[in-house]
């Protein structure tokens, strides 16, 4: 069963985020708190949305998908960025990942989103194989860029004055 996340799922979502980070060999980077997740998913201006996969027999959460809208200047339309897709090891192969992706594809169709995109680690061959079995196009010619920590602060300090008109999204 796939359903929308509720505020009561926050602790379970956080636990699965930690499990995903451990699987991706980056546990120390998963610092999101329950309070932050509650705000981003259920605050006045949600920045992200999530679905839960439950085991049909036990009702236990066995996976989740967390996504947010994005925009393409090329198509002039919104799209979806899948931040996390995770199914607990004991539930893999049970169709939960595919069901989550199918539900997200339906959200895309319902909202007129032309693109549904996400990243996958290059070493994660079982997941890449799963995605390609669904017809996913791997965009190997693109490289992900990330600026954070001190380099982000250093570049921001070089901004001309006045820096930028208010570009802060609604909080």
CATH of residue 135's domain is 3.40.630.30
Q: Is the pLDDT of residue 51 over 80?
A: yes
In a domain? residue 169? no
- Report the mean per-residue pLDDT for the chain: 93
Q: How many domains does the chain have?
A: 1
Residues with catalytic roles: 131
CA 65 – CA 103 distance, rounded (Å)? 10
In a domain? residue 117? yes
Q: Is the pLDDT of residue 143 over 80?
A: yes
Please work out, in degrees rounded to the nearest 5, the angle formed at the alpha carbon of residue 74 by the alpha carbons of 70 and 76.
60
CA distances for 141 relative to 52, 79, 138, 144, angstroms: 32, 20, 9, 10
In a domain? residue 76? yes
CA distances for 63 relative to 17, 19, 72, 171, angstroms: 10, 10, 29, 28
Stretch 10-30: mean pLDDT, rounded?
Answer: 96
In a domain? residue 171? no
**pLDDT at residue 96, as a whole number:** 97
Q: What percentage of the chain carries pLDDT values higher than 70?
A: 94
In a domain? residue 163? no
Q: What percentage of the chain carries pLDDT values higher than 90?
A: 85
Q: Is the pLDDT of residue 167 over 70?
A: no
Burial letters 44-57, b for 16+ CB under 10 A, else e:
eeeeebbbbbbbee
Q: Is the pLDDT of residue 168 over 80?
A: no
How confident is the model over 72-129, as pLDDT tens digits? 999 999 999 999 999 999 999 999 999 999 999 999 999 999 999 999 999 999 999 9
Band (pLDDT 50/70/90 cuts) for residue 157 is: confident
Q: Is the pLDDT of residue 156 over 90?
A: no
**Residue 10 sits in which domain range?**
2-156
**pLDDT at residue 163, as a whole number:** 55
């Amino acid at each position: 069963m796939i359903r929308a996340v509720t505020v009561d799922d926050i602790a379970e979502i956080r636990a699965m985020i930690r499990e995903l980070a451990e699987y991706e060999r980056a546990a120390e980077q998963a610092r999101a708190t329950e309070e932050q997740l509650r705000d981003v998913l259920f605050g006045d201006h949600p920045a992200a949305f999530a679905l839960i996969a439950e085991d049909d027999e036990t009702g236990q959460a066995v996976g989740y998908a967390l996504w947010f809208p994005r925009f393409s200047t090329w198509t002039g339309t919104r799209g979806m960025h899948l931040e996390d897709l995770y199914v607990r090891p004991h539930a893999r192969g049970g169709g939960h990942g595919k069901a989550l992706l199918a539900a997200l594809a339906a959200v895309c169709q319902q909202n007129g989103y032309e693109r549904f995109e996400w990243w996958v680690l290059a070493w994660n061959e079982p997941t890449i194989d799963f995605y390609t079995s669904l017809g996913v196009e791997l965009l190997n010619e693109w490289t992900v860029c990330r600026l954070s920590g001190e380099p982000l602060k250093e570049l921001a300090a070089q901004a001309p004055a006045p820096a930028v008109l208010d570009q802060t999204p609604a909080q």
